[in-house]
Chain A
Amino acid sequence: MGAEIFTINNVVKQYGDKEILNIKSLNIKEGKIYAVLGPNGSGKSTLLRILNLLESPSAGEIRFLGQLLSFEKGLMLKQQRQMVMVTQRTVMFSTTVLANVMYGLKWRKLGQVQARERALEALRLVGMEEMAQRHARTLSGGEAQRVALARAIVLKPRVIMLDEPTANVDPNSVVIIEDLIRRVNRDLGTTVIIVTHNLFQARRISNEIIFLNQGQLIEQGETENIFTSAADSRTRQFMAGEMVY
């Protein structure tokens, strides 16, 4: 634990004239759980999409494990395969639950038998092993999100990014998902970056908070410190639920 997995310097993202993100400096260390907080439109999801190479920044530099994040074809795939993102709007491919979890492994050329074993193990971890042969499009929201998480952890990535993974999910699935996030982080040392609107959840599972407002990084620090004694008044307001969002 401790090496920097992402180093962000002067990253700007603009859509036309509108600036969505402007982060001077942000370091994300390997092996920790980060919660990205902020009001709507503060750039949380955009940050995740940029880190996941789904969008390129308009300006600035991002390093992933010391190497510049690259949109050059070969290197991009190599970097992208070390991270996975799970979004709020989970997309299940039109096939069985098991095949959904096996996709990423097959794309990495893992053999059928080994891929199947690993996928079943991942499904067991999220409590969905018995549904392996069910069609993925028949799952409830919570079940689909658990499968999406299994589909991510089966790849054993260095980083898992979760964009509001428990929004609109049943309480039982929330418990399972949060428990799994902790276990993956603890047992595999996977770095987790989670965007959430749920302050309680952020406090329960994260080691560090990244607080964004209007596209800017306002404060970053250990979770308890941010909740109890944030340096910036905007952060304190937000944590107290006083900032309208």
Chain B
Amino acid sequence: MQGIRQVFELLVSGNNEIYEIIFLSLRVSLLAVFIGMLLGIPVGSFLGLTNFPGKRLLTNFLYTLMGLPPVIAGLIVYLLLSRSGPFGSQQLLFTPTAMVIAQVLLVTPIITGLTMAAVAGKDRDITETAITLGATRAQAAWIIIKEARGTILVGVITGFGRAIAEVGAVMMVGGNILHQTRVMTTAIVLQTRQGNNDTALALGIILLGISFIINGLIVTKGRENSVGSRNIYH
């Protein structure tokens, strides 16, 4: 109850810091998911629709990346963006851009892998029906992707869940700098370390609430375009 009361206090306190943190969390995670979708859906669809030598190895590698520990993603981005790294001159370390890059690294394999599984799992009959109706290979591939959109959406939601809840990588490459790179998760860590457990808990509840709302919006949008997975065959 203390935590819930604290949530309302935080939200109505007129303290801009909390809104700044919320909006940065959303901006970083949503942008990372958007980029992850742009990369992951086409690549995952291609992998799901085609067969080529080495596909199994590539698939195993992709599945491994789906479980990539955030600190490793953070470390890779840190090494790339640090002053002595190949992109050091861009001065991106400890900026929201670095945080987005780290999250893209975490989110893209998830969206790619689940898209691949969704597309590959669609029945051959769908492709054949499209082809017998005169679809080109590309048109048939597009209809498969459309038919798989429900499961692809699950990939997007999972990716968003990973991004918004992520703390290790954003801490490493963002630095948890107030007014610049502090997001919900890093703020929770800070508050806990400072012994402000109620505030940390309140931030946690707000984070869960945001996640619930965003996922609800994604699911509702998805449902508008799909009737789900009712019986396909008669």
Contact = CB atoms under 8 A, between A and B. Distances in A.
A54 B128 contact: yes
A94 B132 contact: no
A92 B134 contact: no
A191 interface: no
Interface stretch (B67-75, B175-183, B225-233): B225-233
A152 B231 CA distance: 21
A188 interface: no
A80 B135 CA distance: 9
A84 B234 contact: no
A139 B147 contact: no
Contacts of A135: 227
B136 interface: yes
Given A137-B231, A144-B234, A91 B129 contact: yes
B131 interface: yes
The number of chain B residues touching the other chain, given as a range, is 20 to 34
Contacts of B123: 91
Interface stretch (A17-25, A62-70, A100-108, A211-219): A100-108
B125 interface: yes
A158 interface: no
A137 B231 CA distance: 7
A155 B134 contact: yes
Contacts of A94: 146-147, 226-227, 232
A141 B234 contact: yes
Contacts of B230: 137-138
A150 B152 CA distance: 30
B131 A54 contact: yes
Contacts of B232: 91-92, 94, 137
A54 B125 CA distance: 11
Given A85-B132, A89-B125, A151-B133, 9 more contacts: A87-B129, A94-B146, A107-B134, A107-B139, A135-B227, A137-B230, A137-B231, A138-B227, A155-B133
Interface of A: 52, 54, 77, 80-81, 83-85, 87, 89-94, 103-104, 107-108, 135, 137-141, 144-145, 151-152, 155, 168
Q: Which 6 A-B pairs have the closest CB atoms?
A: A141-B234, A104-B133, A81-B134, A91-B129, A85-B132, A144-B234
